Amino acid sequence: MALDLPIAELQKEVGNNDDSKEDLSLSDYLDYWLKSYVKSNTSPNTYRGYEQIIRVHLKPILGHIKLQELTSLQLQNYYVDKLEDLSAQTVKHHHRLLSQALNDAVDWEFVNKNVTMKTKPPKPQKFRPTFYTKEELEQLFEAAKSSTIYYPIIYTAGHTGPV
């Protein structure tokens, strides 16, 4: 299936042929979504970020699955597996990307429902910064004194911020 077709032509081709609609893999759909929607509706940085998530993470694990056969259980397992290597916040970004892409797939009538709606993406933990005590900061300054390059930077950083 040619993925460089304008959306109307692709919809017409897929809409008139249930077999080709059923044969569309998630990988092919995400390629199409990147070219037809993301590239023209987001910033270049967003496009690059989405393209990288799709290429590096989604396609190798989920790309072979037919778009119409993708299940919420497969996505839930993907999230669990990715939490071994990635932060919960990053996995949640993957969920949001998939959710947006599949919402468009519903709008464009590639699928009848967005299976991400029945998944539970990980909940990122709230960032809780830690601070050096006065004694720890003094030890850091003492250790850094031997460096004429780093000492001024460490000293300045140590004397700025919350009191």
Domain edges within the chain: 7-118, 129-163
Taking Cα atoms as reference points, which of 129, 126, 124, 153 lies closest to residue 141?
A: 153
Q: Which amino acid is at 24?
A: L
Q: Give the pLDDT confidence of 18-54 residue by residue, as tens digits.
A: 556 778 999 999 999 999 999 999 999 999 999 999 9
Q: Give the pLDDT confidence of 70-110 residue by residue, as tens digits.
A: 999 999 999 999 999 999 999 999 999 999 999 999 999 99
Give the torsion sign (CA, 102, 104, 27, 93). negative
Taking Cα atoms as reference points, which of 115, 14, 15, 121 lies closest to residue 65?
A: 115
pLDDT at 4: 52
Q: Which residue has the tokens 């464009």?
A: 108
Q: What are phi and psi of 148, to 5 degrees?
A: -75, -20
CATH superfamily placement of domain 7-118: Tyrosine recombinase, N-terminal domain (1.10.150.130)
What's 11's DSSP letter? H
Q: At 137, list the tokens.
A: 């900061």
pTM exceeds cut of 0.75: no
